[in-house]
Amino acid sequence: MLVVAQIHVRQDNLLMKKKDRKAIRKHEKRINKIIKDMGKQNGKTTQQGEQTLHTLLEKGLKDIYSAEKQLVDALPEVVQAADNDELEEAFNTHLEQTKRQVARLEKAFERLGINKDEMEKCVAMEGLIEEARKVIREYGRSAVRDSALIIGAQKIEHYEIAVYGSLCELADVLEEDRLGDLLGKSLEEEEETDELLSSIAQDVNDEAREMSMQEME
């Protein structure tokens, strides 16, 4: 019950930050629309340019789809490796979020007419997952391993935030509003997970420090 209560407190704090991010994004969208309209008036937006951006968008969607699919397969191993109860719960929650993110991307493919079977493996995510597996192999179950797992998990979150943020911007420029909404939901989940991990890390790192000091005595 204590772990659940702690998570709820952290989630309430994240909700307040989420509202701030939404306001910022709304303001950024207005600015981007003004810039885009100015570009059209100056003859800078061409059909050829839009086709190139659509290709870039499709490649980005395929990349993050491969990344999320790999993560769905890898996260159960990370969940089992976590020693801290709150961290284990956070990883479990993100596993379910990742499954929903995969489903959103499949909706996007259907909408855009993209064949989800024609994918290249995301080598960036493959490398990040291998780093996490290396941590599990090299560290015994402890607060120190939890600290290392959080570091690895946040590397993954930062990669996903960068990709989803870029794709949201492309969807906005190409006036794919429904796609932008789908991707925006996943972006918010990644940002919230990153902030939750940072919060959990404070307690985990304190415990790991005490453990390290005891071993040095």
The contacts of residue 100 (CB under 8 Å, 6+ apart) are 189
Contact in structure between 84 and 147 (CB atoms under 8 Å):
no
Q: Is the model's pLDDT at 34 over the cut of 60?
A: no
Please report, for residues 3, 5, 124, 143, 144, the alpha-carbon distance to residue 207 in angstroms, rounded to integers and kept in the order given: 16, 20, 31, 6, 8
In terms of DSSP H, where are the helices of 174-216? Answer: 177-216
What is d(CA 92, CA 71) in angstroms, rounded to the nearest whole number? 12
Mean pLDDT score across all residues of the chain: 85
What is d(CA 68, CA 167) in angstroms, rounded to the nearest whole number? 15
More confident residue, 216 or 73: 73
Listed by start position, the domains of the chain span: 55-216
Q: Taking the complete model, does pTM exceed 0.85, yes or no?
A: no
55-216 CATH choice from 1.10.10.60, 3.40.50.300, 1.20.1260.10, 1.10.10.10: 1.20.1260.10
Q: Which two tokens stand for residue 49?
A: 């340019």
Least confident piece of the model among 49-58, 142-151, 187-196: 49-58
Q: Which two tokens stand for residue 142?
A: 């402890």
Measured from the Cβ of residue 52, the count of other Cβ atoms closer than 10 Å reads: 11
pLDDT at res. 50: 47
Count CA within 13 A, CB hemisphere, residue 139: 20
pLDDT at res. 9: 52
Q: Is the model's pLDDT at 25 over the cut of 70?
A: no
Taking the alpha carbons of 52, 53, 56, 62 in that order, is the dihedral positive or negative?
Answer: negative
pLDDT tier at 11, thresholds 50, 70, 90: low
What is the mean predicted confidence (pLDDT) over 2-26? 58
What is d(CA 166, CA 176) in angstroms, rounded to the nearest whole number? 13
What is the mean predicted confidence (pLDDT) over 100-118? 92
- The residue whose two tokens read 């340019």 is 49
Give the tens place of pLDDT for each residue, 43-81.
Answer: 344 444 446 799 999 999 999 999 999 999 999 999 999
